[in-house]
Structure 1
Amino acid sequence: MVQPDIDDTLRQVREAVSGKDWRTATALCIDILKRDPRQADAHLVLGLASAEAGKIDMALRAFDTVLKIDPARFDARVQKARCLVQAGRHAEAEREADRCIQPAQENAKLLDLLATVYSHIGKQEKAAPLISRATTLAPDDIAILSNAAAIQLFVDQKQEAIGNLQRVLEHRPDHGRSHWQLAKARRAEGREHCAVMESLLEAGNDDVGRAIYLHYALAKEYEDLECWEDAWAHYAEGATLQRQRIQYDFRDDRALFDTLRQRFDQRWFSDTAEAENTTGAQPVFILGLPRSGSTLVERIVASHSRVESLGELAQWPLAVKRLSNIRQPGLFRADIAAQAATMDLQRAADLYLQDTVYLRGATPLFTDKLPSNFLYLPLLAKAFPQARLVHVYRNPMDSCFAMYKQLFADAYPFSYTLEELADYYIGYHGLMAHWRNLLGKRLIEVNYDQLVQGQEAQTRALLDRLELPFEAACLEFHRSSGAAATASATQVRQPMHRRSVGRWRQFASHLQPLRQRLEAAGFPVE
């Protein structure tokens, strides 16, 4: 007679989960497990609740318990893979996901989750067919169609992505994220789409997230149409709303910059031994501020036959965080930086190479273009003595404006006000001057503005610094078939152009607070 009672409680659990009432769901599951410790569904929901709360280790234990009870519970295995991604254990995540591909072939939701796992670990070529299958099984599922479009843009399936976004908007004309994705995927040629989005904003809605997407989408399309004032109005409103949603204090970044300069000085650099690399794998770290041309440089370098692209990898920051004893949120803070000065660099290098082996092929050189790796430059230099360290930069005003007009996923919180942007840029510039003194010729620097003005000469010079022979394919980088999982994914499919050089001038009157702050710090902005 116990089972009917448990079945009734499980129905209550499902209702609580549907309403995202995780507290109630957890209490009900604990009650169920007191009566039946082998109730797999209850363990699964406890895992989901733990993951929702950011308790990844606890979630993994719950999913493992489900799989011990019933190894065929592939819904639990997919959720385990998702948590492994969050824990930075990407190779393990791929192994778990691989075991789910065949069992998930008729389940659109599981295929969608699997595609998300593969996309997050840089395996876009595995994600694309799975999400395509999911859209076939669930052609009207808005979440799946939207996810499909994002993945398809990464792998240069632009028309398929646009088609899926249009299908979303047929079902949900007010779906802000899809309007934003559509605006990014194509160049506006008329004001029709703008009129639709303006009417949605005028109609009003309590969904701030939707409004943010619409403002950034409108700004991008108005900029395409050279309607500069309209574009600025929406960039400014979108950035203001986004800034209100996030917690950020530049004083934390100032403390990080100060700690880095103090701890990683000439004495540290002279006294710190280099790690050994017995794998033969040689990273090419391409770094700097976001939207400064690092994706372009990465595509040029990765078009060489001796180099492969691994995209933006989180493995190095995760390795550094893992070797600290600090578990609070944030990958790199002043306290973690202070600990990193005495970190076991050999272990950190080994962790990084182990955690990227699942992505690497036969070529010895591979790119890692996570922009924020500029924070770790002396650590990278010592951990990887054979690595190439490439810093990409551009005009300060263009650099800051390019960040300001980008809606980032979960990074770069300093980019939503002109004042904080200026402060961060000044801090970054001072830190790079310090690293330049430490690293000397180890640091390879590429000026984006010079690169687009003299493509072949600058490409040849870059390859020479990388100790690579010139290959014409590096001039035809836009023909490369590799995925590009960055904010610049659509731009790098085009031949090199100069459209973004001096773009800030179209908005010069609105950018005066930024300009004045930079000029006061001694930066020539012309």
Structure 2
Amino acid sequence: MSQTDISGKLGRVRDAVSARDWRTATALCIEILKQDPRQADAHLVLGLAAAEGGKIDMALRAFDTVLKIDPARFDARIQKARCLVQAGRPAAAEQEALQCIEPAEHNPKLLDLLATVFSHIGKQERAGPLIQRAAELAPQDISILSNAAAIQLFLGSNREAAATLEHALQLDPAHARSHWQLSKARKARDSDHCQEMEALLAQQHASGEAPVYLHYALGKEYEDLERWDQAWKHYQQGADKQRQRLQYQASEDQALFDTLLARLDERWLTATPPTPRAHTSEPIFILGLPRSGSTLVERIIASHSQVQSLGELAQWPLAVKRLSNIRQPGLFQPAIAARADTVDLQRAATQYREEIAYLQDGSALFTDKLPANFLYLPLLARAFPQGRLVHVYRNPLDSCFAMYKQLFADAYPFSYTLGELADYYIGYHRLMAHWRRLLGDRLIEVNYDQLVREQEPQTRLLLESLGLPFETDCLEFHRTSSATATASAAQVRQPMHSLSVGRWQMFAEQLSPLKQRLEAAGIALE
């Protein structure tokens, strides 16, 4: 194959990549590499194809090959960083990404990708200037503008995010994700935006994710306007459409609960000694169901001078998964739970600490607010004997409704039908009762409803339980400047309020099947 033939095939590879025809692109790259094994572009595309198919180890090998051929290929280095994030290696991802900031400064697409990497590893402050630069270089690129707004929301810059999204919608009035983000960035004051979105939904070409985004945005804005029936209609339609897009088996979660209950019992706890090592910095794990107030509690605690906020970290469930030798997708699944009682907790704790070290500033305590860590509470208690375990909960119906009306990214697939949501809540309730019996005073519990009614006394009690002296900054949590990369990012920038307490009652009729399921399971609803 001549160089001219190789160049022609590389052109066809680029066309195939543009069309997302990864099979054709892969076949062409293999032909090229048989003739010239040092064609960096072909290795790069093989890496992209492998990453697209979820074969992260294969993708990393391909990108490493590109970098051996040409160490200056920062496009391959950025893609390697992205895959390291997916592989649960954020510290390594940061090392690669830092090398790419300067060489990528004139390429908006790569700056966008680089900002996404930093955002995913919890470095929102570093992501912000990069995505801003990308937006300045490509002010007509809707995808970049949408990503810029997402990071602005994480950083608490709601006005800037709204302005970015309004600009994006001027360029493309049908961009559904931007409509959804705009609904989160500000409170609706009139129905003008709702009318625009209703018109978009009425158009036949709205397909894929677009209707889901629009329904959730409409639900939120109609709720802002206290038009309850219209809000519910759109929440329900959005949830129904999102559920259709997911491959989820509720039986898997029920098996997960059953397995944890059976494996992590009194006998296991008695036979498992705490890991003995002392550390200069200890975790405060804040957990519970999503949308139950854990972000608010995290902001209160992280406003203390002795505490650093590290956000939602996946490093603990990743460490448990690695040491259980389970390779199938997912961090919380029955196969992992079946081996949880055999995990070397000292190794898991060491891996966890090594993976989060790049985020730490030397504070005596740090927060890890991954809600689903409630599944692994006994493991955390034994692996971190000096750590704190904070479970946040609220009224069951408010808790369930708050999940139902939220469009999550990739997590919590149980939340899109009332039946599956009820079953999951019942499983969670049963598991938490078991953990309380096991852990006793090790478990610090915060009732969100009490906290918002009695802010200062409940805050004082929480800090005392954590072994921290009271500081008035903890009452002014909304002034804390650190980023919040959660669905609650907008709410925690506000002073404490009780607007969401009892919110489910506005939808009591629609939620009655859920209420009946919870009551039948013996769950107190007041």
TM-score by length of 1: 0.99
Question: How far 1:329 sits from its partner (Å)?
Answer: 1.1
- Verify: 1:357 aligned to 2:357, yes or no: yes
Match of 2:55 in 1: 55
**Residues 188-231 of structure 1, C-alpha deviation per residue, up to 9 Å, x if partnerless?**
00000000000111122251310000000000000000000000
Match of 1:437 in 2: 437
Alpha-carbon distance in 2 for matches of 1:399, 1:234: 19
The number of residue pairs the alignment matches comes to 526
- Verify: 1:92 aligned to 2:92, yes or no: yes
Matched to 1:453, the amino acid is R
Alpha-carbon distance in 1 for matches of 2:249, 2:63: 36
Equivalent pair of 2:75/2:110 in contact (CA under 8 Å): yes
Equivalent pair of 1:300/1:474 in contact (CA under 8 Å): yes
- Verify: 1:178 aligned to 2:178, yes or no: yes
Alpha-carbon distance in 1 for matches of 2:451, 2:463: 13
- SS at structure 1 position matched to 2:338: helix
- SS at structure 2 position matched to 1:420: helix
- Verify: 1:458 aligned to 2:493, yes or no: no
Match of 2:132 in 1: 132
Question: How far 1:33 sits from its partner (Å)?
Answer: 0.3
**Residues 474-521 of structure 1, C-alpha deviation per residue, up to 9 Å, x if partnerless?**
000000000010000000000000000000000000001100001111
Matched to 1:178, the amino acid is S
Match of 1:467 in 2: 467
The aligned runs of 1:293-312 (5 Å cut-off) are: 293-312=293-312
Equivalent pair of 2:200/2:206 in contact (CA under 8 Å): no
Question: How far 1:275 sits from its partner (Å)?
Answer: 1.4
- SS at structure 2 position matched to 1:481: coil
Question: How far 1:157 sits from its partner (Å)?
Answer: 1.6
The aligned runs of 1:243-262 (5 Å cut-off) are: 243-262=243-262
The aligned runs of 1:147-162 (5 Å cut-off) are: 147-162=147-162
Matched to 2:284, the amino acid is V
Match of 1:18 in 2: 18
Equivalent pair of 1:312/1:370 in contact (CA under 8 Å): yes
Alpha-carbon distance in 1 for matches of 2:322, 2:342: 14
315-324 or 442-451: bigger deviation? 315-324
Alpha-carbon distance in 2 for matches of 1:68, 1:277: 40
- SS at structure 1 position matched to 2:29: helix
Match of 1:34 in 2: 34
Match of 2:331 in 1: 331
- SS at structure 2 position matched to 1:446: strand
Unaligned 5+ segments in structure 2 are none
The aligned runs of 1:27-426 (5 Å cut-off) are: 27-426=27-426
Alpha-carbon distance in 1 for matches of 2:508, 2:5: 68
- SS at structure 2 position matched to 1:84: helix
Equivalent pair of 1:208/1:241 in contact (CA under 8 Å): no
Alpha-carbon distance in 2 for matches of 1:203, 1:110: 34
Alpha-carbon distance in 1 for matches of 2:264, 2:71: 49
Matched to 1:469, the amino acid is P
RMSD (Å) for aligned C-alpha atoms: 0.8
Equivalent pair of 2:169/2:178 in contact (CA under 8 Å): yes
> Identity across aligned pairs (percent)?
71
TM-score by length of 2: 0.99
- SS at structure 1 position matched to 2:28: helix
Alpha-carbon distance in 2 for matches of 1:49, 1:208: 22
337-346 or 372-381: bigger deviation? 337-346
Question: How far 1:17 sits from its partner (Å)?
Answer: 0.3
Matched to 1:53, the amino acid is G
- SS at structure 1 position matched to 2:445: strand
Alpha-carbon distance in 2 for matches of 1:281, 1:320: 21
**Residues 307-334 of structure 1, C-alpha deviation per residue, up to 9 Å, x if partnerless?**
0100000000111111122111111211
- SS at structure 1 position matched to 2:298: helix
Alpha-carbon distance in 2 for matches of 1:156, 1:445: 28
146-155 or 277-286: bigger deviation? 277-286
**Residues 77-116 of structure 1, C-alpha deviation per residue, up to 9 Å, x if partnerless?**
0000000000000000000000000101111111101000
Question: How far 1:181 sits from its partner (Å)?
Answer: 0.2
Match of 1:507 in 2: 507
- SS at structure 2 position matched to 1:5: helix
